[in-house]
Amino acid sequence: MQHFAELGLRPELLTALKALKFTTPTPIQAAAIPAALEGHDIMGTAQTGTGKTAAFGIPLITRLLNHPHDTALVMTPTRELATQVLDMMQKLLGNQSKISTALLIGGASMGTQLEQLRRSPRLIVGTPGRINDHLARRSVKLGSTRFLVLDETDRMLDMGFGVQIDKILAHIPKDRQTLLFSATLPANILKLSGKYLRSPLRIATGETNAPAARVKQENIKVSDSEKYTQLLAQLDQRQGSIIVFVKTKHGAEKMAKKLKALKHSADTIHGDLRQNQRDRVIRSFRNYQTRILVATDIAARGLDIPHIEHVINYDLPQAPEDYIHRIGRTARNGAEGEAVNLITPQDQKKWHAIDVLLNPDAKREPAVNPAMAAFSRKNRYGRRSFGSLPRGHAARGAKKSAA
Ligand code: ADP
Ligand code: MG
C-alpha cells in the first residue's frame, strides 16, 4: 500500500489526511480500512503506536459522511484517551466539517456535555461510566448508533468494564457495524468478543501480545532498599521525556513529591486527582514543560505522546498485558524507545507472567521454587532467572518497524 488515495477515500478525508501529513497507511490501516469500508465487523490487533486510531477513525468518518442519519460511538477505558481519540477524529473530520461531536467523560462538566448533546452529535466519544450516567438521565440517545468502536478492547471487556459496556449496548441497535481494536488480546477476551460482533474479520498485523518493535527492554535487579536510588540513577542517566509507572495512587503522589523536592521536573497522574488537574498534568507533559510523569496504570493505555523516550517500570503492573501497553508509550510510530524494569525478588512471579506472555514458546526450567531459583547465586545474572530475553531487542526489532 503506497498511498491513502488508493483506498478510494472521500475527498474530505484525503484533504484531512494531507493536513495531518499522513501519506502512507500503516499496515493495520492498510488491512483494516478496506475491510471496514466494505461494512465488516472487525476484531483488529496491531502493536502499540501503529495507527489503530485512524484505522477505525477513517471508516467511521466515511460512514458519517455517506450516511447522514447514522451516528457513531467510540468508547475508551480512560478519560484522557477519549479526549485524545476525539481530537484525532476532529482532525480527520477537518475544520470545514459540520458534523457535531460530544465528549462524554467522567469528571468533566455536565453542563458542557448536555450542551453538546442538545446539538444532536453524530459522533460521541466517551468512557462507559459517564455514558451510562447520561443514559440514566435520558440526556443521550443511542438508537441511531450504527458504528461502534471499543478501543483497547481487552480492557473494555474485562471484569471492570464488561457490565457497563453491556448496559450501554442494550441501547444500541443490533444492526450496526462494530470495530474492536487493541495491541493485546487474551484468549478469554477474544472468545468473549464474539458476543459483540457479527461474522467479524480477524485482522492482525504484526504479533498480538507483543511489544512495539523498536522498544529496547532492560531488566535491572534490585533489592527493595536499592530501588529508589536506582531510579534516581536512571533518571540522571537518561535524557528526554520519561514516564515512571508505579502501582498505587498514593505511591505516585509520594514519588512525584520526592522527585520535585530533588528539583526534578516531575508531576503525577492518577485516579484520585480532579479532572482539571489530570488535564493540566497531561498538557504540561505533552508540551515538554514537565520531563518526568509518574503514573499509575491510568496512563498505561493508548496515550500518544510521541516524545516519550523512556518508560521506567518502578513497580511491575498487575496484569501482564499492561506491561506491553506501558512500554508502548514509547517507540511509537516507528520511533525508538527504551523501557527499564526495576525488579525486586518479590516481583519474580509477576515477571514470570510477563515473560510467559512475551515469549509463549520459550523453553523454561521446571520451576521447583521460582522465587528461590531466580535469585540463587548460580542464576543471579543468568538469562534463566528471567526467562529468555524479552521480545523487541534490537536484533528482532529491526525487521519489524512500523510505518
Ligand atoms: P495505536 O492506537 O496503534 O497505539 P495511534 O493511533 O495512537 O496508535 O498512532 C500512533 C501515532 O502514529 C500517532 O501519533 C499518529 O498520529 C501517527 N500515525 C498514525 N497513522 C499514521 C500514518 N498513516 N502516517 C503517519 N503517522 C501516522
Ligand atoms: Mg490506540
Render pLDDT for 107-157 as a digit per residue (tens, 0 to 9): 999 999 999 999 999 999 999 999 999 999 999 999 999 999 999 999 999
Whether pLDDT at 330 is above 50: yes
Residue 385 alpha carbon to ligand 1 centre in Å: 36
* Amino acid, res. 101: T
Helix (H, G, I), strand (E, B) or coil at 121: coil
54 lines ligand 1 (CB under 6 A): yes
Reference 181, options 160, 163, 206, 164; nearest CA is: 206
Task: State the ligand closest to the CA atom of 328.
Answer: 1
Residue nearest to atom 22 of ligand 1 (CA): 22
1 CB near ligand 1 (under 6 Å): no
115 vs 381, residue with greater confidence: 115
Residue 387 has pLDDT above 60, yes or no: no
Closest CA to 211 of 244, 238, 186, 184: 184
CA separation for the pair 25, 8 (Å, rounded):
13
Distance of CA 134 to the CA centre of its chain: 25
> Residue 363's pLDDT is what?
83
User: How far does residue 158's CA lie from ligand 2's centre (Å)?
Assistant: 17
State residue 364's pLDDT score.
Answer: 79
How far is the C-alpha of 390 from the C-alpha of 392, rounded, in Å?
Answer: 6
328 CB burial (10 A radius; 0-12, 13-18, 19+) = buried
Q: Which of 23, 33, 53 to mutate to test the pocket of ligand 1 (most atoms within 8 A of CB)?
A: 53
Distance 51 CA to ligand 1 centre (A): 3
pLDDT at 240: 97
Whether the model pTM is above 0.85: yes
Confidence of residue 367 (pLDDT cuts 50, 70, 90): low
Cα atoms in the Cβ-side hemisphere of radius 13 Å centred on 130? 24
Q: Does ligand 1 come within 6 angstroms of the Cβ of 49?
A: yes
Residue 345 exposure: Cα atoms within 13 Å on the Cβ side: 13
Q: How many whole angstroms from 403 Cα to the centroid of ligand 2?
A: 15
What is the pLDDT at residue 79?
98
Grouping H, G, I as helix, E, B as strand and the rest as coil, residue 394 is helix
pLDDT in tens, 55-71: 999 999 999 999 999 99
Q: Does the pLDDT of residue 401 top 90, yes or no?
A: no
Test site for ligand 1: of 1, 17, 22, most ligand atoms within 8 A of the Cβ: 22
Furthest CA-CA distance within the chain: 68
Residue type, 177: Q
From the CB of 29, is ligand 1 less than 6 Å away? yes
Ligand 1 centroid from CA 76, angstroms: 16
Q: Please, which residues have CB less than 5 A from ligand 2, an ion?
A: 52, 302
Average pLDDT over residues 380-398: 32
Taking 50 as the threshold, does the pLDDT of residue 187 lie above it?
A: yes
Give me the mean pLDDT over the 305-334 stretch: 98
Say what percent of the chain tops pLDDT 90. Answer: 89
Tell me, in angstroms, the distance from the centre of ligand 2 to residue 153's CA: 10
DSSP letters spanning 182-230: ES---HHHHHHHGGG-SS-EEEE-S-TT---TTEEEEEEE--GGGHHHH
44 lines ligand 1 (CB under 6 A): no
Assess whether the C-beta atom of 211 lies below 6 angstroms from ligand 1.
no
**How far apart are alpha carbons 150 and 154 in whole angstroms?**
9
Q: Per-residue pLDDT averaged across 177-206, rounded?
A: 97
Atom of ligand 1 nearest to the CA of 48: 4
pLDDT grade, residue 365 (50/70/90)?
low
pLDDT in tens, 8-62: 999 999 999 999 999 999 999 999 999 999 999 999 999 999 999 999 999 999 9
Q: Is 180 helix (H, G, I), strand (E, B) or coil?
A: strand
Question: How many CB atoms are located within 10 Å of the residue 383 CB?
Answer: 9
Residues 341-352 have a mean pLDDT of: 97
Domains and CATH numbers, the chain: 4-205 (3.40.50.300), 215-402 (3.40.50.300)
pLDDT, tens digit (0-9, with 9 covering 90-100), for 210-257: 999 999 999 999 999 999 999 999 999 999 999 999 999 999 999 999
| Closest CA relative to residue 61, chosen from 131, 9, 4 | 9
397 Cβ inside 6 Å of ligand 1: no
CA–centroid distance, 303 to ligand 1, in Å, is: 11
- Residue 108 CA to ligand 2 centre (angstroms): 22
Give the mean pLDDT of the chain: 91
Cα 19 to Cα 399: distance, rounded to the nearest angstrom: 29
306 in contact with ligand 1, CB cutoff 6 A? yes
Give the pLDDT band (50/70/90) at residue 366. Answer: low
State the pLDDT at residue 1: 59
Q: pLDDT value at position 394? A: 31
**Please, which pLDDT band fits residue 105 given cuts at 50, 70 and 90?**
very high
Q: CB neighbours (10 Å) of residue 333?
A: 16
In the block, residue with C-alpha cell 443511542: 142
User: Atom 19 (ligand 1): residue with closest C-alpha?
Assistant: 51
- Cell numbers found for residue 46: 496491531
pLDDT given at position 400:
31
